[in-house]
Amino acid sequence: MEKRRLGKSGLEVSAIGLGCMGMSWSYGPPKDKQEMIGLLQAAVERGITFFDTAEVYGPLTNEELVGEALAPFRGEVAIATKFGWAPNPGDGSRWSALNSRPEHIKQVAEASLRRLRVEALDLFYQHRVDLNVPIEDVAGAVKDLIREGKVKHFGLSEAGAQTIRRAHVVQPVTALQSEYSLFWRQPEQEILPLLEELGIGFVPFSPLGKGFLTGKITAETKFDSSDFRSSIPRFSEENRKANQALVDVVTAFAERKKATPAQIALAWVLAKKPWIVPIPGTTKLERLEENLGAQRVELTPEDLSAIESASSEIKLEGARYPEFHQKLVGR
């Protein structure tokens, strides 16, 4: 497994990480705990050293799962987790309230340390920008945790360019995590140049377009009510039908390269910059192995140009988030 360094930081991880959210939350009902422990450990055996979770996944249960599964590999793997959400007052079952107040960040860190069974959090992201708390205060709180040895690296998720700059002045940002794939290329406009300028790594989530770029999802696919794609405009039946043209482009390149569409989509992300580390999620060993096979797909500059030229001609339909979540990105 190739290793990559996230920006100018000292955080070196496997070139492909593993997003763990879907094991507990958002992509249908929670999966069997023992099966997921087996999958996480199989990922380590295959060279993955970078795992992504968050307190809100579950909530809380995904961190517990990851902590238990990876306990035998302390010092060999890096676990990223996130703060910034809290239960709604009066409705503790729904975590749709933002809270990045410094005292809350420190409480979350202590709880995450216990659930993940670690002495320090390798990478601690602000999950979404909280406009009620100056980003300088957020960065300062994480800086304190780094001084105390409880956190090693600071990250942001789905933050806008000015927020990244302001945070970076107070505490260097190791990585930005945001959505990025052939299905969502907006970060190329402003974010990627900024990250390169500041020496910040990029961790794309949903590099397979929430599964769409694998070719396994069609207009006829039915999503469970607990699968959040059922509420995403881009995944409406009508929009899936329109967006199939992009999958057809990726599939054509896959046939040419004797690879799968998922491998082409991941190889494209990997080829964009050497400081990009995608974190595709899966709950199946065969998909994990398929994703890792993307490292063996060589895309030349001509290949990249051809893929981007063909995909740019397709008008993708539908927003990538429901209205509430859309308001929380790029701030």
Residue 231 forms part of a structural domain: no
pLDDT band at residue 89, thresholds of 50, 70 and 90? confident
pLDDT band at residue 321, thresholds of 50, 70 and 90? very high
pLDDT at 210: 97
Number of domains in the chain: 1
Let me know if 321 is a catalytic residue.
no
Could you report the per-residue pLDDT of 137-166, keeping only the tens digit for each? Answer: 999 999 999 999 999 999 999 999 999 999
Residue 249 forms part of a structural domain: no
Residue 256 forms part of a structural domain: no
b/e burial code for range 252-284 (CB count within 10 A of at least 16 → b): ebbeebebbbbbbbbbbbbbbeebbbbbbbbbe
Q: Is the pTM above the cut of 0.95?
A: yes
Q: Residue 43: which CATH number?
A: 3.20.20.100
Q: Which of 27, 57, 125, 180 is catalytic?
A: 57
Could you report the per-residue pLDDT of 22-79, keeping only the tens digit for each? Answer: 999 999 999 999 999 999 999 999 999 999 999 999 999 999 999 999 999 999 999 9
User: For residues 54 and 124, what is the distance between their CA atoms, to the nearest angstrom?
Assistant: 9
Helix (H, G, I), strand (E, B) or coil at 51: strand
Host domain of residue 146: 3-211+272-294
pLDDT at 7: 87
Cβ atoms of 214 and 208 closer than 8 Å? yes
Could you report the per-residue pLDDT of 256-312, keeping only the tens digit for each? Answer: 999 999 999 999 999 999 999 999 999 999 999 999 999 999 999 999 999 999 999
